[in-house]
Copies of this chain bind each other. A is one copy, B any other.
């Protein structure tokens, strides 16, 4: 080793020891006849001291070093005269006797500090320097710990981590596959998996009973803010289980992670049906760090000839505590907020519940104070509160109210990143109807089992059938989701019929799984967690990007290595493909 200790090791109890350290020059300070260097490595920072009186040459040499140079020093651990209490090595410094430059450094393009002067693009281009910053490195350390503790928890419970192939076949359903031309099979392509779904179900047919894998998955989608073309899943499947078994086991995993990593004890997760989540929060991934639930008001608004409310399918409000004193300008801002195309409301109605008990609204023309009081009472509003109301088609309006609720929660400081609220959302609809195509699609995927008591509805009212499907939500982020699968081939066949698959098409796309199911498939189910999101929620990050060592940008590019890129014509020739001229 080039060192006897790391830069995070040494304490006052090590005083007078001779040590050798190696690391990066973080700061240089010259004071009178002294030069001080903060030497940094992954483990901490240790102060080096050089004195002109003791060794003029060495002290001068130290003065010539630059930021981010890699050096190695030998010296003696000394108690510092001015201690720095907030860093673990703050009681000591090293009086250096030997200094070796292991590698010089150009001046980095941005400062390697928690608060850096580097913009996003620059930091991504020089990601290897960005990773030297404590805040970024800590995210990777957290990610390592979460993955490791996940493995430990599952290993202790008899799960086997089994690698499924990355080069698989393309399935035209759903999001786009990345495809990989096969040189040995000209004209044919592998595809990269969007998830190991089919393979994990095959492993259950194989009797492996408890499977997991922390695995890269791939989706060639147009990238939104928080998506990456490659992402990591904690993918799990179990046999001979019912929904309750899966919820218990993976609620346990999540509690284990909170306990071992953040030292937090999380109480049993509340459970909310999809219907209730939509009714109370307007979202299937509610942020339950704060109340401000939706109140339906339609039945209290009739007979006053207000056309907007009279024609609306749904009218709902949220109560904003202590905000009756909101300014006109703030209300205009909120109106603009809900009118943004991403939200799409036509307007915002408000009711102020004055601290003197009076009620005033933007629809005073139509509604009496008594009317308003009924709304306020149902909303649970008290003097000093504000009620914000939207009206329109039920599902859309609830979603708009959900967005408004999140915005108000943020404005009121109710979305503390250190407050973790977990829950299960259950009883998702099995099917979703595409009204324009007049066709049902699987909400989760075509192997999701309906709730047994809803199976008769498959023939009469498919849209009402609830699935044995569940999502785990933390602070409004969908961390994981899964379902109990269909293991009965008759039921599976019925599902394919409802989804509009011909026998041929079902056989073509899922044939090998359906064949496998003919040889004794056990009842089974599973769940998959998005590791990137899981880590970013633990770290309190706004984007998954900062918990990924080498992320891609919104155009799917790695700007550091400049990929993707053109390849040699020779390579294309070998693969039997050619580029189409761009129009």
Contact = CB atoms under 8 A, between A and B. Distances in A.
Interface of A: 1-3, 6, 22-24, 40-43, 68-70, 102-106, 108, 126-129, 131-132, 137, 140-141, 143-144, 147-148, 151-152, 155, 160-170, 172, 176-192, 198-199, 202-203, 205-209, 216, 218, 220, 222-223, 229-230, 232, 240-242, 245, 487-488, 512, 516-523, 548-550, 552, 555-558, 560-568, 571, 573-580, 582
Contacts of A562: 169, 512
Taking each of A141, A229, A521, which has the highest tally of chain B beta carbons within 10 Å of its own beta carbon? A229
Nearest to A521: B103
Given A1-B240, A140-B160, A578-B578, 10 more contacts: A129-B206, A166-B166, A167-B552, A169-B558, A169-B565, A176-B574, A180-B180, A191-B567, A199-B549, A512-B561
Taking each of A6, A161, A555, which has the highest tally of chain B beta carbons within 10 Å of its own beta carbon? A161
A294 to B, nearest CB: 37
A207 B169 contact: no
A217 to B, nearest CB: 10
Contact of A128 (B177, B206, B548, B577): B206
B161 A147 contact: yes
20 contacts: A1-B241, A24-B207, A24-B520, A41-B209, A70-B521, A102-B523, A103-B520, A104-B520, A108-B519, A127-B202, A128-B516, A131-B206, A137-B208, A163-B216, A167-B552, A176-B571, A184-B556, A187-B582, A573-B580, A577-B577
A42 to B, nearest CB: 4
Please tell me how many copies of the chain the complex holds.
2
Nearest to A25: B520
A215 to B, nearest CB: 9
A264 to B, nearest CB: 21
A180 B192 contact: yes
A6 B106 CA distance: 63
A43 B210 CA distance: 11
B203 A131 contact: yes
B571 A576 contact: no
Nearest to A1: B245
A534 to B, nearest CB: 14
Contact of A180 (B162, B178, B202, B566): B178
A41 to B, nearest CB: 6
B240 A3 contact: yes
In the A-B complex, the 9 residue pairs with the closest CB atoms: A169-B563, A105-B520, A131-B206, A188-B564, A2-B240, A182-B564, A68-B520, A144-B160, A42-B209
Given A41-B209, A160-B141, A169-B561, A180 B183 contact: no
A2 B563 contact: no
A236 B487 CA distance: 42
Contacts of A147: 161
A523 B523 CA distance: 54
A86 B203 CA distance: 28
A189 B564 contact: yes
B556 A22 contact: no
